[in-house]
Structure 1
Amino acid sequence: MRRTVLGGFTAAALAAASLLALPAHAAAPKLTAKVVQGSVWSSGYGADVVVANNGDAASAGWTVEFDLPAGTTVSSSWSSTRTQSGQHYKFVNVSYNGAVAPGASTSFGFNAAGLGLPLNCTLNGAPCGGGSSTPSPSPTVSSSPSPSPSPSPSSSPSPTPTPTPTVTTPPGPVVDVSTAAQLTAALAAAAPGQTIRLAPGEYHGVFGTTRPGTEAQRITLTGPRTAVLVNDGPSGDAPDCPTPTPGWDPGYGLWLSGAPYWNLTGFTVKDSKKGVVLDGSHHVTVDGIYVHHVEEEGVHFRRSSADGVIRNSVIEYTGLVQPGYGEGVYLGSANSNWGCHGNSGGVDRSDRVLVENNRIGPYIAAEPIDVKEGTFAGIIRGNTFDGRGISGQNSADSWIDVKGIDYLIEGNTGTFAAPGTFANGYETHNPGTTPSFPNGCGNVWRNNTSDLGGVGAYAIRITSPSSCTARPNVVYASNKVTGAVSGLTNVPVTP
């Protein structure tokens, strides 16, 4: 028999029943965006846009839009796909930073020509600070503290990297590691198609691999920025040429030797003799890593490590012990070192390396990028160079020294301010030039923005035009310069 029981409910019970009848809360992301102005110069500024998730589900992607006042434009950007309509800019996540976990954040960055700040910022159509879909007046803009003028190995300003990129794990088997011993073992046993995933924490040890991936099945080493590799070496007796040798620790933070087709993403390398060294390791992609406080170079493509990529990364505070050998990104080897590193016809052919959308500096003691003789056809594009702290030692007095051949250098933004020694923004040199290797020739500059801080002579100085008559360097009129003692360049400009 059917019974009616409603009459037996009290008012409180009815209220409770109503609450129980409400649908369960659906987990959802709650994204906000904040513009953080990192550096300012006389004609522009650089900024990071931090996208944070305060919700309880991961985001599937994000789109940040804002307007800039008349007279200010975005000159370059990184870690996003940018489109523009007049003074309105739209930035959409790229493959590795769209999924933002609850409580996590990711970022992209841009450089502005002009000093106007973003207006009407929206994130996925809602105000960047959260709330209704009515456009907000502007995002929060703050200035990062400037570092003190004299860094040293023992006491230097705190680095200010772009926040951790969100890392997407590729398909395939995953090896999770959380200790130095586990990482050492995983690198020694790495197999094509495998991902080695770092847990947050510091890993102290000797980290390297000789295990190759393949074109179809790359090997990935990935982790958050809070996964930090530290090499407390070097130690042992070094061989005549740097090769993996039992009992010898070269002091490198991470060393790939004869290990092509790797992805290195997200993590940090610090407090090592060198940061990341690639020897005979072609087709390696370095994406979104952070290298700082190393004694010598930050990232070195060496021993014909061709067709590599370094993008969306931050490199600063290098050359802490040997300032003249503290380059940010080092492509190839000097001809005096080809006896060890010239394994391709006697030349280090670390060719066709793409250096894209990185922030290099401040306190790179040598050049932010050194392009060595004998290398060909690289692309250096969309990077930000902060020249504070360039030492002037070992002829290091520019953002890039180009001794390679047929490089394209475009869309970069460079600034210089004290302290440091600064002669020109970009320079060429021609060591060991022969008909087969017209070093320092055939290079192209376009759409670069340079602020020489009233110190540097030329934005682009071609050291010896007569050495490149058959393969001249080309400087386009689209390059812009402010704060130059002498001007844009010392050679005729191409319209």
Structure 2
Amino acid sequence: MSRRLPLLVSALALVAGGTAVALAPDAHAAGAALSATLVRTSSWNSGYGADYVITNTGDATATGWAVEFDLPAGTTVTSSWSSVRTSTGNHHRFSNVSWNGTVAPGATVSFGFNVAALGVPLGCTINGAPCAGGTAPTTAPTPPATTPPATPPATGPIVDVSTADQLSAALAAARPGQTIRLAPGTYSGAFLGRAIGTAAAPITLTGPATAILTNPGSSGTNPGCSVPAAGFDPGYGFWLYGAAHWKLNGFTVTGAAKGIMIDASPHVTIDGVFVHDIGDEGVHFRRSSADGVIRDSRIERTGTAQPQYGEGIYLGSANSNWSCYGNTGGIDASDRIQVLNNRVGPDVAAEHVDVKEGTVGGVIRGNTWNGQGIAGQNSADSWLDVKGSNYLIESNTGTFSAPGVFANGYETHNPTVGSGCGNTWRDNRSDLGGVGKWAINVTSTAKCAGNLNVVHASNTVTGATSGLTNIAVTP
């Protein structure tokens, strides 16, 4: 879409010697406005051919263009035509040749390429602006900034997308009150949201379960502590960074190094998503992403690459990682997260919920844990490991059956002073499958003096080799 900047001319009259002189009437500045549309021209089992059709929707002639995009790891450009191509790793730049650089208003030109493998272009820009449309800059394109760009105007309260390019563009242009609506289909790429919503006008990303986000490979250089940077793809299925007040609803995330990553993004609600077949953890609230909710969602088959890091839901960060993910006070205060009515497992290789030290005040209620497939690596041998404090854990149902490694249903640990204390269990039903020792194993009472963990008599257990809990039960 073309955006024209008005030439601001004041309606003033200059009075000199009694003579009024009127200034020129309002006008607008002419300009080129280029867009680039991907058109697949052929396909085969191991690759495809495509053109980018460049259109000038402005009212001035464009003289020169450059289209840039990334391809997922494992997908390569094998040939191209009608352009000058330069490639650095997975990043590709196509600029005009001598005979197709001039694009008159309303005219089109094109260039083409073939690729090996089936990944699609990601993050497409033309002369530095989104390929979906925008006014071409008056200076040469510069590399993308590592800080979020200024948010362009919204295109409407509901933005429908059906391709990976459209999704990336919609995320980049998101603003409070918008809903980005996914059509059924597979979206392959690195999808990052950085816009900030508000409590009154959150940003929503929604779609059916048949809208599938996938990111099969990471690429680029990690600038340290996993922050967004030009050319860096950490392999996350969906990533929010510094993006408060988002709602994620209904879609599926699969085939990624990590599933949904929430960084420095408070007040995020995840509702009814399906996360499965993930290399490490399924959903992670990190970098003090407080006051979030995950509810009515399914998480299965995590830790397919690294079972020891295959948590279903991960709250906060280990204290060994606070130098990266901690706030100015030093801790990862991803506090008051609510984990409600989810189904986690089977084949979640590590804890179904890993509650890290430094986090406080969450609620874990009404969930179903299927412990089949817990791998037992890195001491991950329970449904929940509660190192945070003052959590309410109630009305959950947990089961275990072979294969897997299973020590206890719920465990507490105290890696830092005051952590793993003040948590309350009530109305939980636990079936330890004849393998697990305690339904609720509290590792220390001495480390929680004045803020003891509490296990109510309303909790029940079957199939335990020892019993309900190793501490005194509270009526």
**TM (normalized to structure 2)?**
0.67
Report what 2:467 is aligned to.
487
Using the alignment, how far apart are the partners of 2:225 and 2:259 within structure 1? 18
Secondary structure (helix, strand or coil) at the match of 1:317 reads strand
Partners of 1:259 and 1:215 in 2: how far apart? 12
Indicate the SS of the match to 1:349: coil
The residue number in structure 2 matching 1:252 is 236
Q: Deviations over 1:299-319 (max 9, x none)?
A: 000000000000000000000
Match of 2:286 in 1: 302
Supply the AA of the counterpart residue of 1:445.
Answer: W
Deviation digits for residues 83-106 of structure 1 (CA, Å, limit 9, x no counterpart) = xxxxxxxxxxxxxxxxxxxxxxxx
Whether 2:325 is the aligned partner of 1:347: answer no
What residue is the counterpart of 1:464 in the other structure?
Answer: 444
In the alignment, which residue of structure 2 is the partner of 1:290?
Answer: 274
Q: Deviations over 1:355-399 (max 9, x none)?
A: 000000000000000000000000000000000000000100000
Counterparts of 1:316-465 in structure 2, within 5 Å, are 316-433=300-417, 438-465=418-445
**Does the aligned pair in 2 maintain the 1:364–1:389 contact within 8 Å?**
yes
Provide the residue aligned with 1:57 in structure 2: none
Greater Cα offset, 252-261 or 340-349? 340-349
Q: Tell me the SS of whatever aligns to 2:323.
A: helix
**Preserved contact between residue 408 and residue 444 of structure 1 (Cα < 8 Å):** yes
The code of the aligned residue for 2:468 comes to: L
Aligned to 2:256, the other structure's residue is in SS state: coil
Residue 176 of structure 2 aligns with which residue? Answer: 192
In the alignment, the residues of structure 2 paired with residue 402 and residue 219 of structure 1 have an alpha-carbon distance, to the nearest angstrom, of 31
1:4-153 to 2 correspondences below 5 Å: none
Q: Distance in 2 between matches of 1:483 and 1:465?
A: 25
Give the structure with higher Rg (CA): 2
Alpha-carbon deviation of 1:232? 2.1
Distance in 2 of aligned mates of 1:371 and 1:417: 23
For residue 158 of structure 1, what is the aligned residue in structure 2?
none
Task: State how far apart, in whole Å, the 2-side matches of 1:317 and 1:250 are.
Answer: 20
Distance 1:205 1:197 in 2: 17
* One-letter identity of the residue aligned with 1:243: V
Cα distance in 2 for partners of 1:414, 1:344 equals 37
Q: Take 1:184 and 1:367, find their aligned partners in 2: how far apart are those partners?
A: 32
- Equivalent AA in structure 2 for residue 399 of structure 1: W
Match of 2:11 in 1: none
CA distances 1:32-83 after superposition (whole Å, capped 9, x unpaired)? xxxxxxxxxxxxxxxxxxxxxxxxxxxxxxxxxxxxxxxxxxxxxxxxxxxx
SS in 1 for 2:278: coil
Aligned-pair CA distance for 1:322: 0.3
Structure 1: which amino acid aligns with 2:351? E
- Of 473, 477, 485, the residue aligned with 2:457 is 477
- Once residues 397 and 200 of structure 1 are traced to their aligned partners in structure 2, the CA distance between those partners, rounded to angstroms, is 37
> What do you get for the CA RMSD once the two structures are aligned?
0.6
Amino acid at match of 2:335: D
Q: Counterpart of 1:6?
A: none
> Which runs of 5 or more residues in structure 1 are unaligned?
1-171
AA matched with 1:280: A
Q: Which runs of 4+ in 1 moved over 4 A?
A: none
**Cα drift, residue 276 of structure 1:** 0.1
Larger strand share, 1 or 2: 2
Change (3 A) 1:344 1:444: farther
Q: 2:204 aligns with which of 220, 224, 233?
A: 220
Contact (CA 8 Å) 1:259, 1:282: kept in 2 or not?
Answer: yes
Deviations 1:286-310 (A, max 9, x none): 0000000000000000000000000
Count matched residues.
320
Matches of 2:193 and 2:210 in 1, distance apart? Answer: 22
The 8 Å contact of residues 307 and 350 in structure 1, kept in 2 or not, is answered as yes
- Residue in structure 2 matched with residue 151 of structure 1 by the alignment: none
Distance in 1 (alpha carbons) for counterparts of 2:444 and 2:466: 17
TM-score normalised by the chain length of structure 1: 0.64
Q: Secondary structure at the match of 2:324?
A: helix
SS in structure 1 at match of 2:204: strand
Structure 1 residue 269 corresponds to structure 2 residue 249:
no
Deviation at 1:344, TM superposition (A): 4.2
For 1:203-248, what per-residue CA distance to the aligned partner results, in whole angstroms no more than 9, with x for missing partners?
Answer: 0011011111011100000000000000022011111111001011
- Taking the aligned partners of 2:306 and 2:208, their CA distance within structure 1 comes to 29
2:194 aligns with one of 197, 210, 213:
210
The 1:475–1:344 alpha-carbon spacing in structure 2 relative to 1, beyond 3 Å, is farther
CA distance in 2, matches of 1:195, 1:382: 28
DSSP 3-state at the match of 2:302: coil
Corresponding letter in the other structure for 1:355:
V
Contact 1:304 1:344 survives alignment (8 Å): no
- Identity, % of aligned positions: 67
CA distance in 2, matches of 1:317, 1:355: 19
Letter in 2 for 1:266: G
